[in-house]
Amino acid sequence: MSLDTLFQPFALKSLRLKNRLVMAPMTRSFSPGGVPGADVARYYQRRAEGEVGLILTEGTVIDRPASSNDPAVPRIHGAAALEGWRRAVQAVHGAGGRIAPQIWHMGAIGPHASGWVAPAPQEGPSGLRAPGEPVGVAMSEADIEATIAAFARAAADAKAAGFDAIELHGAHGYLIDQFFWSGTNTRADRWGGATIAERSRFAVAVVRAVRQAVGEDFVIILRLSQWKQQDFSARLAASPAEMEAWLGPLAEAGVDIFHCSQRRFWEAEFDGSDLNFAGWAKKLTGRATITVGSVGLSGEFIAAFGGETSSPASLDELLRRYERGEFDLVAVGRALLGDADWVRKVRDGRRDELRGFSRAALAELV
């Protein structure tokens, strides 16, 4: 199959991409004190030189006392961190690339392996990491309002730093997802409720505030997942109707692109159709979507953390789905973490030069 279609440009609002390939957001923890340095800028610049269409940065945390459990995760607040990001953006633009930060609050997720402790207790809708597992405090109304404002400030600061778009991290069991999930949101006020539409109100408020902060023409991407790191089998939407109730208000609030996180992009979302999550999100909302999950590799990423190695895999099934219009963009994680030239090699048909992935690659920022 020809890969040429993946190398068609993409345009939405003020965002212009040279191709459909996106670097997936990947936490690297190489930003001491939360400040991304010259090595981080170089790392993203190398992916721009390697012809990645859009780089999504690693998760970068908002201005809340316990938005992070790891001091080496970059921040998107404070003069030093914002200056570090401005330089990374310049480096990427200088190489002809486009870049968006992934804006993150970890929520009530538990301690990091480093043992570092944030200056305030972790916070979430109900202080739960998973059903019956309290690790932090339930957010007050004032905490919620301040957090929404901090997301909006981060987006405005990202735009001012020169980023081309922003992505909100609403997936994988972190703060925004903790509001979505009934397992971690047991609130009885307007931020909770029995339905996914009710539990989406926090995310809707965040998206609205971000839209207000960045204006109409700036692209807002929202990353979502059915699965949680706390429970791979968790599902927020058990049917297309529930998915519509979940995504419709988010699209209405201002999401331009849904980034639909799966561990394996080829897995069907609902019985009776082989459409994946990105395919359903596009069909139900009419918005552009990004697919992700084991593109170009034989194994998935959670197993990779456990030490499983992956080898290069065919892109035929990805192309089949892309060509029938299932999604607009394709995010690639580990293959690009391990090889800054992955996109260029794919474009030029240098298949014998593609590498597998092993977790040893995580030790270095190259």
Ligand X SMILES: Cc1cc2nc3c(=O)[nH]c(=O)nc-3n(C[C@H](O)[C@H](O)[C@H](O)COP(=O)(O)O)c2cc1C
Q: Among all residues, which ones are annotated catalytic?
A: 174
The CA distance from 311 to 295, in Å, is 11
CB of 102 to ligand X, least distance (A): 6
CB nearer ligand X, residue 148 or residue 292: 292
310 C-beta neighbours (distance < 10 Å), count? 21
CB of 69 to ligand X, least distance (A): 13
CB nearer ligand X, residue 148 or residue 336: 336
Residue 143: partners with Cβ closer than 8 Å, 6 or more residues away: 123
Which residue from 122, 211, 125, 246 is spatially nearest to 176, judged by alpha carbons?
A: 125
Cα 131 to Cα 24, 105, 183, 228, distances in angstroms: 28, 19, 5, 12
CB nearer ligand X, residue 75 or residue 169: 169
CB of 196 to ligand X, least distance (A): 20
CB nearer ligand X, residue 185 or residue 291: 291
Which residues face 357 on adjacent strands? 310
Handedness of CA 111, 114, 120, 123 (dihedral sign): negative
Q: Specify whether the CB–CB gap between 330 and 290 falls below 8 A.
A: yes
Residue 339: partners with Cβ closer than 8 Å, 6 or more residues away: 345, 354, 355
Q: Specify whether the CB–CB gap between 169 and 122 falls below 8 A.
A: no
In three-state secondary structure terms, 68 is coil
CB nearer ligand X, residue 138 or residue 224: 224
The CA distance from 205 to 255, in Å, is 12
CB nearer ligand X, residue 87 or residue 334: 334
CB of 181 to ligand X, least distance (A): 16
Binding residues for ligand X, rule: CB under 6 A, are 24-27, 58-59, 102, 169, 171-172, 223, 261, 292-295, 297, 300-301, 332-335, 362
Which residue from 278, 284, 295 is spatially nearest to 333, judged by alpha carbons?
A: 295
CB of 59 to ligand X, least distance (A): 3
Q: Specify whether the CB–CB gap between 199 and 185 falls below 8 A.
A: yes
CB of 310 to ligand X, least distance (A): 8
Which residues face 312 on adjacent strands? 297
The CA distance from 22 to 232, in Å, is 24
CB nearer ligand X, residue 10 or residue 342: 342
